[in-house]
């Protein structure tokens, strides 16, 4: 299971016919976080002509947008469409516009808000989040070196290692590779050691 979002909060801007467009983006996971981010930008740019917003959340499949006074269909929907076309979720965008005195027309507004959302997305860096299985293996010291090398070879990440009479290695591997990992672990240890699943977590994939 995977989904795409942005790595971090970011912004970028441009000027179109003397109107200044500033695109902001931030990773969010709840409606509360999204609305707080939108309110923050609106407060920061209280003197702007418009603060158009859109966000998409995985939880509940929520999609929201606001034209914030721009003609219907020219601002909020194009902003939301950028997120949808990029297949992004768990993120919010706000496009601030300072009017420069020249009207852009409906088509011009659509193009400008689309561009502003896109530059914000590019600044935030699109990443792929993958579901990882959190695992634990208890082994003897003679096998520990092989296990420590095997986990990263399987696109896994070691999170902690506990040394006592035996060694306990806590790590995660992509959920899609879980059965393959367990089969290879059985072969590598001649069936002596096996992994115990302790949970799951979404995290960035190594390809990012």
pLDDT in tens, 100-155: 888 999 999 999 999 999 999 999 999 999 999 999 999 999 999 999 999 999 88
Model pTM greater than 0.85? Answer: no
| Strand pairing report for 126-139 and 157-163 | unpaired
Walk me through the domains of the chain, giving residue ranges and CATH numbers.
2-124 (3.30.230.30), 130-204 (3.30.70.240)
Name the 3-class secondary structure at 33.
Answer: helix
Whether the CA torsion 84, 86, 90, 92 is positive or negative: it is negative
**Per-residue pLDDT tens digits for 179-194:** 999 999 999 999 999 9
At 54, which helix (H) or strand (E)?
Answer: strand 50-57
Whether the CA torsion 100, 106, 112, 114 is positive or negative: it is positive
Are the CB atoms for 135 and 20 separated by under 8 Å?
no
SS3 helix, strand, coil % of the chain, rounded to 5? Answer: 35, 40, 25
Are the CB atoms for 24 and 47 separated by under 8 Å?
no
| Strand pairing report for 167-174 and 126-139 | antiparallel
Residue of 91, 88, 123, 106 lying closest to 14 (CA atoms)? 123
**Per-residue pLDDT tens digits for 83-92:** 999 999 999 9
**Per-residue pLDDT tens digits for 31-63:** 999 999 999 999 999 999 999 999 999 988 999
Burial of 188: CB neighbours in 10 Å, binned 0-12, 13-18, 19+: middle
């Amino acid at each position: 299971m995977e989904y795409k979002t942005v790595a971090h909060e970011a912004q970028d801007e441009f000027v179109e016919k003397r109107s200044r467009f500033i695109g902001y983006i931030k990773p969010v996971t709840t409606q509360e976080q999204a609305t707080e981010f939108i309110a923050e930008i609106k407060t920061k740019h209280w003197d702007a002509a418009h603060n158009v917003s859109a966000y998409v959340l995985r939880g509940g499949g929520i999609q929201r947008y606001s034209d914030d006074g721009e003609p219907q269909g020219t601002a909020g929907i194009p902003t939301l469409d950028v997120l949808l076309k990029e297949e992004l979720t768990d993120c919010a965008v706000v496009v601030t516009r300072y009017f420069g005195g020249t009207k852009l027309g409906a088509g011009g507004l659509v193009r400008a808000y689309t561009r502003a959302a896109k530059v914000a997305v590019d600044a935030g860096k699109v990443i792929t989040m993958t579901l990882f299985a959190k695992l634990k293996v208890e082994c003897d010291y003679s096998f520990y070196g092989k296990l420590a090398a095997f986990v990263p070879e399987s696109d896994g990440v070691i999170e902690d290692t506990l040394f006592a009479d035996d060694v306990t290695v806590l790590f995660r591997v992509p959920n899609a590779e879980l059965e393959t990992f367990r089969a290879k672990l059985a072969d590598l240890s001649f069936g002596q050691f096996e992994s115990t699943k302790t949970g799951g977590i979404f995290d960035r994939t190594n390809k990012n």
